[in-house]
A and B are shown apart, each in its own frame.
Chain A
Amino acid sequence: MRLLLNGAERELPDGSSVADAIAALGAPTTGVAIAVDDDVVPRAEWATHELRDGASVEVLTAVQGG
């Protein structure tokens, strides 16, 4: 299936979870938060939250600001 991962198109195996998407991005698992189609996915649901084809996944972290 195809995803929009932080704005870039990515191909992942069907049935991939949020945790799989994070791994595909090479992201650390601490200090980050995930939104799928604008909804926040709590950390506890990363492994079980299955992604649908065409989903938009945003991986955010803290940066210098404010």
Chain B
Amino acid sequence: MADDPLVIAGREFGSRLVMGTGGASNLAVLERALIAAGTELTTVAMRRLDASGGTGVLDLLRRLGIEPLPNTAGCRTAAEAVRTARLAREALDTSWLKLEVIADERTLLPDPIELLDAAEQLVDDGFTVLPYTNDDPVLAAKLERAGCAAVMPLGSPIGTGLGIRNPHNIEMIVAAAGVPVILDAGIGTASDAALAMELGCDAVLLATAVTRAQDPERMAHAMRLAVEAGRHAALAGRIPQRHWAHASSPPVDKS
């Protein structure tokens, strides 16, 4: 959709599908999935360097011309997230950040208090902050006011594949937002991604639905088509839903 770019913080992306790299069984599988997804922006996590001297994921993204988006996955407090963000900026030479501050391991839901605190600190420090947030219109508005470049509400908890559990909240976030809304987390299959776009989201971020699918490359292709289809449907202006049937053929002449 070259004529309909996604614009985040003044930067244009031709693809509205943001990918994560977690969960892929190996780099060759990941590479095929990323190509099939057509993504231009893809998340990576920050971890201790192991003895093998790196994982190769950065080299892969560079080779494919995909912009890496470091995240703060695993951080539980604003202080941890800010430190991880600064390390990511040093390592990857980018000030873009997917901000994640989770409350507990069981739900992996964002901690709203710590999230907003971290967002404020990182915006002040010059980061382009894309926060993973709850499907809460109030919190989304506060994150935008704090200077975040996008808001990324969850459809359902990370890795559950439960889709979008509260579509109305997503619609309310979209209606109020002045920055791009990226549906992040919970996508299970292509119809979930299409629904996100139909609800008015500007993009979809997903990982598990593709990387843990039986055929990641094929599912990545499906997600690409779903995001495009949903975007077109959202722009096309759907018909109103009505209670009773409404014939699409002319009435039969009974005279």
Contacts and interface: CB of A to CB of B under 8 A. Distances in A.
Given A28-B54, A59-B49, A65 B44 contact: yes
B131 interface: no
A13 B53 CA distance: 23
A63 B20 contact: no
Contacts, number: 99
Nearest to B184: A66
**Interface class of chain B by DSSP:** mixed
Contact of A66 (B51, B55, B98): B98
A27 B83 contact: no
Contact of B53 (A7, A26, A38, A42): A26
Interface residues of B, number: 35
Contact of A40 (B45, B51, B83, B207): B83
A62 B86 CA distance: 13
A31 B73 contact: no
A3 to B, nearest CB: 14
A57 to B, nearest CB: 11
Interface in B25-59: 30, 43-49, 51, 53-55, 57-58
Interface string B68-79: 111101000000
Interface of A: 6-7, 25-28, 31-35, 38, 40, 42-43, 58-66
Interface of B: 20-24, 30, 43-49, 51, 53-55, 57-58, 68-71, 73, 83, 86-92, 98, 100, 207
